[in-house]
């Protein structure tokens, strides 16, 4: 753990323009800098860096934050990793707080395994340049059209034929036998002697997300060897199910394009990158796992599966679609022409041709699975029924209710069955899943899912959780502009006083309130929380610092440099953005900031209440259209009349209606 004093020194020292300038070519524009955004593709610069405020902001994609946030976003580092990066850049010594003896031993052991793995990487690279490696390994790479620059970038190498070549070289360099064994580079035989794990193979290093070499994949060049690929065993630093070949090289482009392309083979990954398709990874000798999908999710929620079109590839793709959907992500599938894999296809086509092919042949994962299975079933009604149930069960795995409904409608059209029938199967499957989870964990899991059985089969009580959930979904859309405006007032003018006139309904004889206190009191009176999670988190974080007596600039700086990047992004955006005020009659605005705030902050709160009422009115109207029972209809009408009265009072105060 990095001590707070060191964290403060790092954040105080880091200059946003210097940090961003290491990755992006900045051009000065007045007191700021501009560039094309590194987080999305654009031709006209919309990425701004403001040294005076210590923030960056892209007006195209909305990314924003401070120096530490930029490093986290661009390099996909954790908060401590980004702090250590900045410390190294500015030559700041980081002395971690005292560790236990066990923690020190574990860390040192892991570092030793990393070190010997790095030694092995360099050793295999060196072997490729001479003798056996040059004659056999290097020639293999060239026959596969892998260029010298790619060989160097990926540290491709050669494991020589000697039984103890690496072992002897590592010993000579001072590495202990135990580290060679624990890193999966050597095997201890029954007589206690050590031999190399990899021999006579072209070598592909496997990197961690942070770029450290943690394992290897070796390919034999002998046709009679049944073990075509041999991969490192699981070790303290390498767990197969949690790592992906190429993730270190692909992560930035995955985030930029908001898409990951998933292939099967080592050479597939390397050749796609060499061609210019650099958002590509592979599962490296294992079936795709949930942990690997979650790793991809750090950078994008969209995965395009590009497997071989044979039977094994189709089966693997279908399995992957289910796993990806279960993690709440979006699978797509593209199959190459018969006889081609990503390696051969990339050697035959240009970058633009490959991109055009993917764009033209990509299919939605659920649609692909439905169409493929229906074709296999033909006209057999029993098989078709089983397939429809299987597809419905796949849809049931999707955690997001809106996505599920969209897919239910899509599958309904494809199979020619009413959506209600498919939805009923989905509900039953989810109820079964909930019960299994309950039995396994000892608690009820997701309460909302258990109530979905009533959704779509008539009206629920207007105060039921399902109805409340829909209200919140609508509020997210309706209330977002008003919540943004209120939070913007807080982040820009939170400690500014509101000096109301004595005849104002908001006048407080005991003294003035600040903007932040006034808004907080108005929301607390009705126990209101923002429906937008990022805004609510920022609101709570702000007042956590405000209540400690911090000054406005210090609060903003702390939020910008904090570990919660959603809060930092919201703060960067709203503390600098020029607001589109709810009331645009600027002729009424007074000249001073204090007078302007007195005029507009109360109005913004009134507009927010008005929007909340509108959201509830929309929901009541929807329930009324479903022909509820008479007693429920009476309750709904009573609530609607009460809301109409509230709305009228607010609009009179806003000057929209006369008394």
Residue 514, SS3?
Answer: strand
The CATH architecture assigned to 247-361 reads: 3-Layer(aba) Sandwich (3.40)
CA angle 125, 126, 128 (to 5 degrees): 70
Predicted local confidence at residue 267, as pLDDT = 94
Q: What is the mean pLDDT of each run of 10 residues along the chain (659 residues)?
A: 83 89 88 87 87 85 88 86 90 76 81 95 96 94 95 96 94 96 95 94 92 93 84 92 92 87 94 96 85 87 89 88 91 90 92 94 92 87 90 88 87 90 90 75 40 34 34 59 91 88 68 84 81 89 88 89 87 68 39 70 88 85 82 84 84 76
CA angle 518, 524, 527 (to 5 degrees): 155
- Measured distance CA(537)–CA(469) in Å, rounded: 19
Residue 461, SS3?
Answer: coil
Calculate the dihedral angle through the C-alpha atoms of 109, 115, 118, 122, rounding to the nearest 10 degrees.
-140
CA angle 465, 466, 469 (to 5 degrees): 85
Q: What is the CATH number of domain 101-238?
A: 3.90.980.10
Predicted local confidence at residue 527, as pLDDT = 74
Pairing type for strands 302-305 and 260-263 reads parallel
- Measured distance CA(464)–CA(458) in Å, rounded: 13
Residue 282, SS3?
Answer: strand
Cβ neighbourhood burial of 299 (10 Å; 0-12, 13-18, 19+): buried
Distances (CA, A) of 280 to 283, 303, 580, 599: 11, 10, 41, 54
- Measured distance CA(7)–CA(87) in Å, rounded: 9
- Measured distance CA(345)–CA(358) in Å, rounded: 12
- Measured distance CA(366)–CA(310) in Å, rounded: 19
335 backbone dihedrals φ, ψ, rounded to 5°? -110, 135
Predicted local confidence at residue 622, as pLDDT = 82
280 backbone dihedrals φ, ψ, rounded to 5°? -115, 135
Task: Calculate helix-pair angle for 311-326, 365-377, nearest 10 degrees.
Answer: 130
From the centroid of its chain, how far is CA 623? 35
Distances (CA, A) of 559 to 7, 78, 303, 572, 591: 14, 16, 32, 9, 30
Buried b (16+ CB within 10 A) or exposed e, 29-62: eeebbbbbbbbbeeeebbbbbbeebbbbbbeeee
Residue identified by tokens 């051009």 is 27
Predicted local confidence at residue 217, as pLDDT = 95
| Structural contact between residues 304 and 334, judged by C-beta atoms closer than 8 angstroms | yes
- Measured distance CA(378)–CA(375) in Å, rounded: 5
Pairing type for strands 55-58 and 47-50 reads antiparallel
| Structural contact between residues 266 and 217, judged by C-beta atoms closer than 8 angstroms | yes
From the centroid of its chain, how far is CA 209? 14
- Measured distance CA(271)–CA(345) in Å, rounded: 9
Nearest to 220 by CA among 207, 210, 230: 230
628 backbone dihedrals φ, ψ, rounded to 5°? -70, 170
Predicted local confidence at residue 583, as pLDDT = 38
Topology (CATH) of 4-89: DNA Primase; Chain A (3.90.580)
Distances (CA, A) of 361 to 173, 263, 302, 319, 374: 52, 16, 16, 20, 19
Distances (CA, A) of 244 to 287, 295, 321, 488: 11, 8, 17, 41
- Measured distance CA(398)–CA(408) in Å, rounded: 11
- Measured distance CA(263)–CA(279) in Å, rounded: 11
């Amino acid at each position: 753990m990095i001590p707070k004093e060191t964290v403060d020194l790092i954040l105080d020292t880091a200059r946003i323009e210097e940090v961003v300038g290491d990755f992006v070519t900045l051009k000065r524009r007045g007191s700021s800098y501009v560039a094309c955004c590194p987080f999305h593709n654009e031709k006209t610069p919309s990425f701004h860096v403001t040294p005076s405020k210590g923030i960056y902001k892209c007006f195209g994609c909305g990314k924003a934050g401070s120096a530490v946030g930029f490093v986290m976003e661009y390099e996909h580092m954790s908060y401590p990793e980004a702090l250590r990066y900045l410390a190294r850049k500015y030559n700041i010594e980081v002395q971690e707080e005292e560790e236990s003896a066990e923690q020190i031993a574990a860390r040192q052991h892991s570092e030793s395994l990393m070190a010997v793995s790095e030694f092995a990487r360099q050793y295999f690279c060196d072997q490729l340049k001479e003798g056996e490696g040059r004659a056999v390994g290097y020639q293999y790479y060239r026959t596969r059209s892998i260029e010298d620059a790619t060989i160097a970038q990926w540290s491709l190498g050669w494991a020589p034929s000697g039984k103890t070549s690496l072992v002897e070289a590592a010993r000579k360099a001072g590495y202990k036998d135990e580290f060679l064994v624990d890193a999966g580079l050597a095997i201890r035989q029954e007589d206690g002697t050590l031999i190399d794990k990899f021999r006579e193979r072209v070598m592909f290093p496997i990197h961690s997300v942070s770029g450290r070499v943690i394992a290897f994949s070796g390919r034999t060049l002998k046709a009679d060897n049944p073990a075509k690929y041999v991969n490192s065993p699981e070790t303290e630093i390498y767990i197969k199910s949690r790592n992906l070949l190429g993730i270190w090289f692909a992560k930035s482009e995955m985030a930029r394009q908001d898409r990951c392309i998933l292939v099967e083979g080592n050479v597939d990954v390397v050749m796609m990158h060499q061609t210019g398709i650099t958002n590509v990874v592979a599962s490296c000798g294992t079936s795709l796992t949930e942990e690997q999908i979650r790793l991809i999710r750090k950078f994008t929620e969209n995965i395009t599966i590009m497997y071989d079109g044979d039977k094994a590839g189709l089966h693997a793709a279908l399995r992957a679609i289910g796993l990806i959907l279960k993690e709440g992500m979006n699978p797509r599938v593209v199959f190459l022409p018969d006889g081609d894999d990503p390696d051969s296809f990339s050697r035959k086509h240009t970058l633009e041709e490959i991109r055009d092919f993917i764009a033209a042949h990509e299919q939605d994962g659920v649609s692909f699975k439905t169409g493929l299975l229906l074709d296999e079933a033909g006209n057999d009604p029993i098989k078709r029924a089983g397939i429809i149930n299987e597809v419905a069960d796949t849809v049931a795995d999707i955690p997001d209710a809106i996505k599920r409904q969209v897919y239910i409608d899509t599958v309904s059209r494809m199979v020619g069955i009413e959506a209600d029938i498919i939805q009923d199967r989905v509900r039953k499957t989810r109820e079964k899943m909930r019960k299994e989870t309950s039995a396994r964990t000892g608690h009820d899991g997701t309460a909302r899912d258990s109530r979905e059985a009533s959704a779509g089969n008539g009206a629920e009580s207007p105060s039921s959780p399902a109805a409340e959930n829909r209200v919140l979904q609508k509020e997210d859309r309706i209330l977002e502009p008003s919540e943004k405006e209120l939070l913007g007032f807080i982040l820009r003018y939170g400690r500014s006083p509101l000096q109301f006139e004595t005849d104002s309904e908001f006048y407080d004889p005991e003294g003035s309130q600040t903007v932040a206190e006034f808004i907080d009191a108005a929301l607390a009176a009705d126990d209101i929380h923002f429906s937008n999670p990022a805004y609510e988190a920022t609101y709570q974080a702000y007042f956590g610092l405000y209540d400690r007596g911090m000054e406005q600039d210090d609060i903003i700086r702390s939020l910008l440099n904090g570990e919660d990047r959603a809060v930092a992004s919201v703060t960067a955006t709203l503390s600098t953005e020029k607001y589109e005020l709810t009331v645009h009659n600027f002729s009424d605005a007074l000249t001073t900031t204090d007078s302007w705030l007195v005029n507009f902050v109360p109005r913004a709160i009134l507009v927010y209440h008005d929007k909340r009422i509108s959201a509830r009115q929309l929901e009541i109207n929807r329930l009324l259209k479903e022909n509820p029972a008479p007693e429920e209809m009476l309750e709904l009408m009573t609530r609607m009349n009460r809301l109409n009265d509230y709305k009228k009072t607010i609009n009179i105060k806003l000057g929209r209606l006369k008394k």
